[in-house]
Amino acid sequence: MATETVQPIRFVGQACGQLELLDQTLLPQQLTYITCADVETVWEAIKMLRVRGAPAIGISAAYGVVVGLQTATGKSDEEFWARFDEVTDYLAESRPTAVNLFWALNRMKEKALSLKAAGKSIAEVHADLLTEAIAIHNEDREMCHAIGKHGANLLHSGQGVLTHCNAGGLATSEYGTALSVFFTAQDQGKRLHVYVDETRPLLQGARLTAWELMQRQIPATLICDSMAAQVMKEGRVQAIVTGADRIAANGDSCNKIGTYALSVLAKYHGIPFYIAAPSSTFDLSIESGDEIPIEERKPEEITNGMGKRTAPEHVKVYNPAFDVAPAELIAGIITEHGVISPVNKENVAAMLSSGG
Ligand code: MRU
């Protein structure tokens, strides 16, 4: 099945319907959807990376609000609104770094408050919140395609490019951010060769990005993260494009652990390093990347990766899941409105406020 037809997230039915998530922990071996009949299942799916990638986390959380409210539709207004707060607070605790989660929950809150102020019934509020979640989902599709168009202009046929983690269709509504740039370039007839960092410790590059690129028959070569410097030194890479989980007002961009190292290596080798991300990934409430909360995950992801013990029992482990590429090392941030370059506070604000 071609990746363009794979939907990582789908909602079936009306507000009392079901959220279905493609379980990305089983890829590439199995294409299996899990049904989220309650908000706890949505929370667990986000926490355990069954659904992952900043935009996909936000979309899932928006639908998660609708699912979480299903137990409160027959209750009093007071109980319904208490449940609304409970569900949104709970989902906000699933993962800390990707700002799209909080962006989507805030948007659902704002919508809910406007419906409440308009005196809508509980049933109407629930139905309209599903409409809002669907709008978030559909808008993400449009943003991904627009990012692809802006980013593809930066690439030339015959180039080698490198990416990290998975910022493809699986991480978004369907087309991706960094991978959307490659997909669009391919649609324009440009021939690229993509080097894919395997992305330790959870291997999103090897399991997901390599799979997506192969589905689209884009030439791709998998490398270990520690090989990126050598591949650059050998002259195989002319541009690097990754996604982001949160971008501060000054353009500092947080993404999967290993991205910071790539930005430093790119500078040394004179290779442009780009971030591709929608406006929902910007957090203008923080000045710099220093304020971005970095998720720390379980030691077992390193000592027992993919179910096999690869380190001594009781060894001390540090497992930060993200790091920050400083704005000064980023050649451009590719958004749905255009490319921010040079990357600085003024240009970030101008691009986001003008919408282009
Ligand atoms: O821990 P993950 O797999 O959710 O991390 C995902 C990333 O770091 C992606 O690069 C980022 O969310 C951008 S997705 C378009």
CATH 1.20.120.420 fits 9-144, yes or no: yes
Average model confidence (pLDDT) for the chain?
96
179 torsion bin: left (phi>0), alpha (psi -120 to 50), beta (else)? alpha
Atom of ligand 1 nearest to the CA of 54: 12
CB environment 145-170: b (16+ within 10 A), e (fewer): bbbbbbbbebbeeebbbbbbbbbbbb
Domain limits, the chain: 9-144, 148-354
Task: Check residue 6 and give its pLDDT.
Answer: 81
Of the candidates 245, 252, 283, 323, the residue annotated as catalytic is 245
Q: What is the pLDDT of residues 285-311, one digit of tens each?
A: 999 999 999 999 999 999 998 889 999
Local structure of residue 296 (DSSP, 8 states): B
- Give the Å distance between the CA of 321 and the centre of ligand 1: 10
Report whether 7 contacts 174 (CB < 8 A).
yes
Q: How many Å apart are CA 341 and CA 331, to the nearest integer?
A: 6
What would the 3-class secondary structure string for 58-84 be?
HHHHHHHHHHHHHHHCCCCHHHHHHHH
**Is 245 a residue of the active site?**
yes
Say whether pLDDT at 3 is over 60.
no
Cα 117 to averaged position of ligand 1 atoms, centre (Å): 36
The predicted-structure confidence for 310-326, as pLDDT tens digits, reads as follows 999 999 999 999 999 99
**CATH architecture observed for domain 148-354:** 3-Layer(aba) Sandwich (3.40)
Q: What is the mean pLDDT of residues 234-259?
A: 98
Taking a C-beta distance cutoff of 8 angstroms, is the pair 265, 232 a contact?
yes
* pLDDT bucket at 1, cuts 50 / 70 / 90: very low
Q: Which DSSP symbol is given to 356? A: -
- What is the average pLDDT across 224-245? 98
321 lines ligand 1 (CB under 6 A): yes
At 73-121, the pLDDT tens digits run: 999 999 999 999 999 999 999 999 999 999 999 999 999 999 999 999 9
